[in-house]
Chains A and B, each alone.
Chain A
Amino acid sequence: MEWEADDRKAVVVGLIEKATNSIKPDLDPRILKSIKSVVRHSDSELRLAAENLMSLMKRDHSQVRYLTLAIIHELFMRSKLFRALIVENLDQLLTLSVGFRRNQPLPAPPAIASKLRSKAIEFLERWNSTFGIHYRQLRLGHDYLKNTLRFQFPNLQANAARVQQERRERELRTKEILLKKYELLKSNFSSIKDEVNSIVDEISECLDILITSKEDNLPLDPIDEEDVDEFRGVELRRIRDNSLKEADKVQENSENKVVFDALRELYKLLVTKHIVAVQESVSVLVRVELSDNRLRDSMLKEFIDIRNHLKSIKKKCEEAGCALTNPADEGEEDIWEEGASESFDISTSSTPNKQSEDHANKRNDSPECSNSKTINVIGKVEDPEVCGTDLNPLKSKLMVEAPVMKWGSFLDNWGSNRDFMANQRGLELDGHWGRVDHDATIPANKIAELNVQAVVYEEEHKEIQQCGAPLKKGGFCQRKDLKVCPFHGPIVARDDEGTPNDAVSMDDEKPDLKLFSMDELLKQAVNNVREMDKEAMKKREYDKKELKRAKLAKVRGHNEAVLRDAALASTSGSSSIGDLEGREKDSLAKMLKKRTTAKDRLARRLLSRKATAKELNLGEDHSKYREAFPNQW
Chain B
Amino acid sequence: MWKEIGDRESGKLRPNSFITRIRSNRVSSLQLSNHKEIVSPHRGAINSLQVDLTEGRYLLSGASDASLAVYDIQRATDYDGGGLIAKHKPILLVDKQHQNGHKFAISTAIWYPIDTGLFVTGSYDHHVNVWDTNTTQVVMDFKMPGKVYRTAMSSLATSHMLIATATEDVQVRLCDMASGAFSHTLSGHRDGIMAVEWSTSSEWVLVTGGCDGAIRLWDIRRAGCFSVLDQSHSQLGRRPPLLERSTTKVSTSKCSLPGQTSSAKARAPQRKGSSGSGSKHSGSSRILRHAKGSAKQRLHPGLLSSQDRATAHYGAAFDVWTGKASMTLHGHYEHVNCCWYGAHDQELYTGGNDRQILIWSPPKLISEDVDEGDRRTGQPLAVDQDNWSD
**Shortest distance between the CB of B288 and any CB in chain A (Å):** 21
Complex partner residue of A133 from B330, B356, B381, B390, CB under 8 angstroms: B381
**Shortest distance between the CB of B29 and any CB in chain A (Å):** 14
Expressed in whole angstroms, the Cα–Cα distance for A140 and B33 within the complex equals: 11
Complex partner residue of A83 from B34, B80, B384, B388, CB under 8 angstroms: B384
Q: Mark A82-105, 1 if CB is under 8 A from B, else 0.
A: 010000111110100000000000
B-binding segment of A72-80, A220-228, A500-508: A72-80
Expressed in whole angstroms, the Cα–Cα distance for A141 and B334 within the complex equals: 11
State whether B388 touches A137 (Cβ < 8 A).
no
State whether B356 touches A144 (Cβ < 8 A).
yes
| Interface residues of chain B: helix, strand, loop or mixed (majority) | loop
State whether B333 touches A80 (Cβ < 8 A).
no
Q: Is A432 an interface residue (CB 8 A)?
A: no
Residues in B with CB closer than 8 Å to A89 are: 330
**Shortest distance between the CB of A98 and any CB in chain B (Å):** 11
Q: Is B358 an interface residue (CB 8 A)?
A: yes
Q: Is A148 an interface residue (CB 8 A)?
A: yes
Q: A133-B84, A137-B32 are in contact. Are A148 and B388 (CB under 8 A)?
A: no
Which of A33, A80, A130, A140 has the most chain B CB atoms closer than 10 A to its own CB? A140
Residues in B with CB closer than 8 Å to A461 are: none
Question: Who on chain B is nearest to A100 by CB?
Answer: B333
Question: Who on chain B is nearest to A147 by CB?
Answer: B355
Question: Who on chain B is nearest to A149 by CB?
Answer: B333
Interface set of B (CB-CB < 8 Å, partner A): 32-34, 37, 80-81, 84-85, 330-333, 354-356, 358, 381-382, 384-390
**Shortest distance between the CB of A283 and any CB in chain B (Å):** 36
Q: Is A625 an interface residue (CB 8 A)?
A: no
Number of chain A residues close to chain B: CB under 8 A: 29
Expressed in whole angstroms, the Cα–Cα distance for A143 and B382 within the complex equals: 20
Q: A33-B390, A78-B388, A83-B384 are in contact. Are A136 and B333 (CB under 8 A)?
A: no
Residues in B with CB closer than 8 Å to A91 are: 330-333
Question: Who on chain B is nearest to A84 by CB?
Answer: B384
Q: A78-B387, A144-B356 are in contact. Are A130 and B382 (CB under 8 A)?
A: yes
Q: Is A36 an interface residue (CB 8 A)?
A: yes
Expressed in whole angstroms, the Cα–Cα distance for A83 and B382 within the complex equals: 14
**Shortest distance between the CB of B302 and any CB in chain A (Å):** 38
Complex partner residue of A134 from B32, B80, B384, B387, CB under 8 angstroms: B384
**Shortest distance between the CB of B72 and any CB in chain A (Å):** 20
Expressed in whole angstroms, the Cα–Cα distance for A2 and B1 within the complex equals: 34
Query: Can you report 20 A-B residue pairs in the complex whose CB atoms are below 8 A from each other?
Result: A33-B390, A40-B388, A78-B389, A81-B386, A88-B330, A91-B332, A94-B333, A130-B382, A133-B81, A133-B84, A133-B381, A134-B84, A135-B384, A136-B32, A136-B34, A136-B37, A136-B331, A136-B358, A140-B358, A148-B333
**Shortest distance between the CB of A416 and any CB in chain B (Å):** 90
**Shortest distance between the CB of A2 and any CB in chain B (Å):** 28
Expressed in whole angstroms, the Cα–Cα distance for A91 and B352 within the complex equals: 14
Which of B331, B355, B385 has the most chain A CB atoms closer than 10 A to its own CB? B331
Q: Is A131 an interface residue (CB 8 A)?
A: yes
For the complex of A and B, 5 pairs with smallest distance between CB atoms: A133-B81, A134-B384, A136-B34, A144-B333, A130-B382
Besides the contacts A40-B388, A133-B85, A140-B333, what 6 more A-B pairs have beta carbons closer than 8 Å?
A78-B388, A81-B386, A134-B34, A137-B331, A139-B37, A148-B355
**Shortest distance between the CB of B335 and any CB in chain A (Å):** 12
Complex partner residue of B384 from A94, A131, A139, A148, CB under 8 angstroms: A131
Question: Who on chain B is nearest to A95 by CB?
Answer: B333
Expressed in whole angstroms, the Cα–Cα distance for A203 and B174 within the complex equals: 112
**Shortest distance between the CB of B22 and any CB in chain A (Å):** 24
Complex partner residue of B386 from A80, A130, A137, A144, CB under 8 angstroms: A80
Residues in B with CB closer than 8 Å to A134 are: 34, 84, 384
Residues in A with CB closer than 8 Å to B355 are: 148
Residues in A with CB closer than 8 Å to B330 are: 88-92, 137
State whether B386 touches A131 (Cβ < 8 A).
no
State whether A140 touches B381 (Cβ < 8 A).
no
Expressed in whole angstroms, the Cα–Cα distance for A130 and B81 within the complex equals: 12
Q: A130-B382, A133-B81, A144-B354 are in contact. Are A77 and B387 (CB under 8 A)?
A: yes
Residues in B with CB closer than 8 Å to A80 are: 384-386
Which of B33, B85, B333, B384 has the most chain A CB atoms closer than 10 A to its own CB? B333
Expressed in whole angstroms, the Cα–Cα distance for A90 and B330 within the complex equals: 8
